[in-house]
Amino acid sequence: MQKKVYKESFWNLKDLLESHEGKEFDVVLADLEKKVKKVESYKNVLNNDISSDKVLEIIKDIEEVEKLCSKIYAYAYMWFSTDTKSQEARALQNKISQLVADVSNRIMFFSLWFKQLDDKNADRIIKGSNEYKYYFEKLRLQKPHTLSENEEKIINIKDTTGNSILNNLYNIITTSFMFDFVIDGKVKRINFSELSKYVRSTKAEDRKQAYDLLMNEYEKNKDTLGEIYKAIVTDWKNESIKLRKHNSYISPRNLGNDISDKAVECMLNSVKKNTKVFHRYFKLKAKLLGMKRLSRYDVYAPIFGIEKDISYNEAVNMVLESYNEFSPEMSSMAKKIIDYEHVHSITSDVKKGGAYCNDIHPGIVPYVFVNFTGKDRDVSTLAHELGHGVHDLLTHNHSSLLAHPPLILAETASVFGEMILSDKVLEKEKDKINKQALIASKLDDIYATIIRQTFFVIFEMEAHKAIDDGATIDKVCDIYLANLKEMFGDSIDVTDNFKIEWAYIPHIFATPFYCYAYSFGNLLTLALYQMYKKEGKSFVPKYLKFLSYGGSKKPSEICKELDIDLESEKFWDQGFVVINDMIDELEGLTN
């Protein structure tokens, strides 16, 4: 494919809104109000004998409301992501959060009515709901945990001044952290994105300095961040356990993903059982680094001191070329996101850390947010987030209510994209030492996205219970330290300062128990990638069809089409066979 020159970029939010103020914005708000009032007008026509056709008319109008809300909210959130210090951006996000909560309260009568409808009439409507069938089936799953309309409205209002504000506060505090890093004897003041690249430095002293600065900053803010976390956990318990009567802390997340508790338990058990696979890898890595044993500072150390600087243009072309080799359709979709100026890649002191892909609704090209610092890892991150974007575009043939894949499948295309890239780079590499470095780097990533994410969730389950029992934040930190030591076993030395590490994992605050989606997605993707290796190009259309379902069918049913049983621990164990093979290859190159 022909190479194009790509430059680091800000994104164009005008595809969402021309302006967030003045007459133009007033027109948008007036349109939203008109659509909401139309939905409200249906309240008096809801009854047991309503026709399926009338229900479909209502749901399509509700969909229009939700699409417009998504656009407005995405604009506010993405502006805040790139300028967390802007009072104007924060004010808009708070205003829009309140607006969306108000709209949700005004139209929730329909979903509450359907959840409370008798089974006979609910089944009749589901049978006549055509493409919306699974949407209505998922609503019925929530029936045992649904409250009265007034109670649901109170929760919506509470969240805008409770959980939402707590997470904003967490972001404001943590994005303000600056670090005095000593480079060649000179002190340089850097932000988190710049600091994070040093945890993969070729120099042990840089890695230690980076982690020490990071842990010290979070330790200094432990009381404030700890109280935020305790409030979020208590809110989760009060709503999910006390009010909605879920039977465990993790059950609401499983129900939201429409995945059985057994499937999640099988996956978590498989990971926990197979941690020794990575103990073996870390011991081999210590040998490659000339160490007796790794310390926690060395987990992401590049072997043989190999660390490349890569330009943004090189990174984009590497990703597009690797995608194109697998599927020109995927490459074309990834390119579309870039060509639409929907990627924000430039780092700054006011920009939120991390990366994400935001799919607003079908008809709008997804947006990708990365902090590009020119390191190998940034190329993988770009492949990952563009993978999300490709996945989203493939689902845009569905209603916006059914397009978004559930969390447990949402990481499939992103991780697959990373694997395509990794294989392409390995295939081109002829130097033995460089190959070792590439395999080790890939194993580091797999550790981070399977083992590490699973143990985050195990920590969360223990932390939620401990806080429910009245634990202090120091106790929560002790739980995390014990969690780390169990995860690494005898393969890595862990110092006590890492006990605060959990506090810089934003998902633990923003989306409790989200992290198992990464483990789920990665192990599932390893299985899918093995199918691709065996079947070759004939696998591609099956894979694209798998992705294109989005959230339109039950995840277990989507997986069954490829003969995958999510409730089998043996299935999850297969991923570790692949990982063991990679370690064998690395060991063979070493010997």
For the chain, what is the mean pLDDT? Answer: 94
Are 180 and 102 in contact by the 8 Å Cβ rule? The answer is: no
Q: Which string of DSSP letters, residue by residue, matches 198-255? A: GGG-S-HHHHHHHHHHHHHHHHHTHHHHHHHHHHHHHHHHIIIIIIT--SSSSHHHHH
402: its two tokens: 């059914």
List residues bridging with 189 in a β-sheet.
180
Kindly state whether residue 31 falls inside one of the protein's structural domains: yes
- Measured CA to CA, the distance from residue 549 to residue 538 in angstroms comes to 19
The count of other CB atoms within 10 Å of the CB of residue 319 is: 28
Residue 472 has pLDDT above 80, yes or no: yes
Q: What is the pLDDT of residue 304?
A: 78
Classify residue 309 by its DSSP letter.
B
Q: What are the DSSP calls for 56-105, one per residue?
A: HHHHHHHHHHHHHHHHHHHHHHHHHHH-TT-HHHHHHHHHHHHHHHHHHH
Q: Collapse the DSSP code of 294 into the 3-class scheme (helix H, G, I; strand E, B; otherwise coil) and give the result.
A: strand
Place of tokens 């070729």: 202
CA distance 425 to 432: 13
433 Cβ contact partners less than 8 Å away, ≥ 6 residues apart: 304, 306
Structural domains counted in the chain: 1
Rounded Cα distance, 326 and 543, in Å: 11
Q: What is the pLDDT of residues 491-503, one digit of tens each?
A: 999 999 999 999 9
In a domain, 172, yes or no: no
**pLDDT grade for 64, boundaries at 50, 70 and 90:** very high
Q: How far is Cα 163 from Cα 154, in angstroms, rounded to an integer?
A: 13
Work out the average pLDDT over 176-196.
92
Distance, CA of 479 to CA of 462 (rounded, Å): 7
Secondary structure of the chain: what % helix, strand, coil (to 5)?
70, 5, 25
What integer pLDDT is reported at residue 546 of this predicted model?
97
In this prediction, residue 1 carries a pLDDT of 58
pLDDT tens-digit readout, 67-119: 999 999 999 999 999 998 899 999 999 999 999 999 999 999 999 999 999 99
* CB 336, CB 463: distance < 8 Å: no
Which CATH number is 116's domain given?
1.20.140.70
- Read off the tokens for 336: 């579309």
pLDDT tens for each residue of 398-448:
999 999 998 889 989 999 999 999 989 888 888 888 899 889 989 998 999
Does pLDDT of 174 surpass 80?
yes
CA pair distance 398, 75, nearest whole angstrom: 23
pLDDT of residue 2: 62
Residue 90: domain span: 13-161
**Residues 445 and 466 sit within 8 Å (Cβ to Cβ):** no
Assess if residue 74 is contained within a domain: yes
Q: What pLDDT digit, counting tens, does each position of 244-278 carry?
A: 999 999 999 999 899 999 999 999 999 999 999 99
Query: Side-chain half-sphere of 376: how many Cα atoms within 13 Å?
Result: 23
Compute the CA torsion angle 222, 170, 214, 448 (nearest 10 deg). Answer: 110
Residue 105 lies in a domain: yes
Inter-helix orientation angle 261-273/516-535, to 10°: 80
Q: How many CA atoms lie within 13 A of 253 on its CB side?
A: 23
According to DSSP, residue 187 is labeled E
Give the C-alpha separation, 450 to 55, whole Å: 42
Domain contains 44: yes
Measured N-to-C along each axis, helices 452-468 and 261-273 cross at an angle, to the nearest 10 degrees, of 120
Count CB atoms within 10 A of the CB of residue 177. Answer: 17
For residue 236, what are the contacts with CB-CB under 8 A and spacing of at least 6? 249, 252, 464, 512
Q: In what order do the strands lie in the sheet with 356-358?
A: 343-344, 367-369, 356-358
Confidence check: pLDDT of 591 > 80: no
Whose tokens are 């004998």? That residue is: 49
For the residues of 242-302, what is the DSSP string, one character each? IIT--SSSSHHHHHHTT--HHHHHHHHHHHHHTHHHHHHHHHHHHHHTT-SSEEGGGTTPP
For 522-573, what is each residue's pLDDT tens digit?
999 998 998 998 999 999 999 999 999 999 999 999 999 999 999 999 999 9
516 falls within a domain: no
Rounded to 5 degrees, φ, ψ at 516 are: -65, -20
353 pLDDT band, cuts 50/70/90, is confident
Residue-wise pLDDT tens digits, 289-306: 999 999 999 999 998 766
> DSSP alpha helices (H): ranges in 395-494?
400-403, 407-410, 412-428, 432-446, 452-468, 473-488
List the end-to-end C-alpha distance of the chain, in Å, as a whole number.
38
Alpha carbons 127 and 460: distance in angstroms, whole number: 39
CA 209 to chain centroid, in Å, comes to 28
Is residue 120 a part of any domain in this protein?
yes
CA-nearest of 33, 109, 113 to 69 is: 33
Please report whether residue 126 resides in a domain: yes
pLDDT of residue 307: 64
| DSSP string for 545-563 | HHHHTTTSS-HHHHHHTTT
As a whole number of angstroms, the distance between CA 244 and CA 140 comes to 14
Radius of gyration of the chain (CA): 24
How many residues can be counted in the chain?
Answer: 591
| CB crowding 14-46: b at 16 or more within 10 Å, else e | ebbbeebeeeebeebeeebeebbeebeebeeeb
Instruction: Answer left, alpha or beta for residue 241, where phi above 0 means left and psi between -120 and 50 means alpha.
Output: alpha
